[in-house]
Amino acid sequence: MPRTTRLAALAVVLAATTGGLIHTAAGASAAPARPAGPAHHAVAARPAYSGREVFKIVARMPGPQHATVQAWGAFKATGHFIRKQATITFPKGRIIVRRHVQKITYSGPDLQTCRFSIVERGTFVVKKATGRYHGLHESGHFTSRLHGRLKQTGTNQCGSKIVAKRTVTFEIGKAS
C-alpha cells in the first residue's frame, strides 16, 4: 500500500477513534440540522460550574470498548467516552461534544518499527448536557494524539493492519 494511501487510512481511523461528530475545516456538519420553529423548552438553570475545565480521553487497542475519561477543573468526574454518539458519560450525567478539526499532522510509519502517529488539533463545544451537568456551556480547544503500530510484513515492510494504538485527547475549555 502506498504511503499516502496508508496515511489517509490512518487519518480515517483517528477520526473514527476521536468521536462521531467531528467536522473538518472543509467538511460540512455531520449532525442533522435542527428544524426552525419556536423554542418549547423552558429556560434551564445553569449548573454551578464555572472556570477552566479539562477532559482527558484515553482510548487503547487492545483495551476496553469505550475510552476512559477524566475531568477536572470546574468539576471533577471519571467516566467513559462513547465514540459513535460523541458522548462523555459520567455516573451523574452525560455531555455531548462536537469537535471541529482545524489541523492534522501525520508522522510515519517508520519502516523498521512500523510505528506511526497522527495529531489532530481544533476546537470543541458542548452541544448538550444532562443530569447533574444540565445547562453546562463549554467551549475551547482540543489536541488528539494517536500513536500506533502497523503489522510488520517483512524486513522494512509494514502492512495496513493496525495491531496496537493509543489515543490521548485533551479538551481544554471554559465552563459557564
Q: How confident is the model at residue 172 (pLDDT cuts 50, 70, 90)?
A: very high
146 domain residue, yes or no: yes
CA-CA-CA-CA torsion for 48, 18, 119, 141, nearest 10 degrees?
A: -20
125 domain residue, yes or no: yes
What does pTM read for this prediction?
0.71
105 domain residue, yes or no: yes
Query: pLDDT tens for residues 96-136?
Result: 999 999 999 999 899 999 999 999 999 999 999 999 989 88
Range of the structural domain that residue 53 is part of: 3-23+46-175
9 phi and psi, to 5 degrees?
A: -65, -40
Spatial contact of 114 and 150, defined as CB atoms under 8 Å apart = yes
Distance of alpha carbon 53 from alpha carbon 141, whole angstroms: 11
84 domain residue, yes or no: yes
40 domain residue, yes or no: no
Task: Give Dmax over CA atoms of the chain in angstroms.
Answer: 64
59 domain residue, yes or no: yes
**Number of separate domains in the chain:** 1
Query: pLDDT tens for residues 3-59?
Result: 555 555 555 444 544 444 444 444 443 444 444 444 444 444 555 677 899 999 999
> Kind and range of the H or E element at 127?
strand 115-129
Spatial contact of 123 and 98, defined as CB atoms under 8 Å apart = no
Q: Report the pLDDT value the prediction gives residue 161, as an integer from 0 to 100.
A: 92
> Kind and range of the H or E element at 87?
strand 87-90
Three cell numbers, residue 153: 510484513
- Report how far apart, in Å, the C-alpha atoms of 9 and of each of 2, 103, 106, 163 are: 11, 16, 11, 14
67 domain residue, yes or no: yes
Q: Report the pLDDT value the prediction gives residue 38, as an integer from 0 to 100.
A: 47
Distance of alpha carbon 55 from alpha carbon 108, whole angstroms: 28
29 domain residue, yes or no: no
Length of the chain: 176
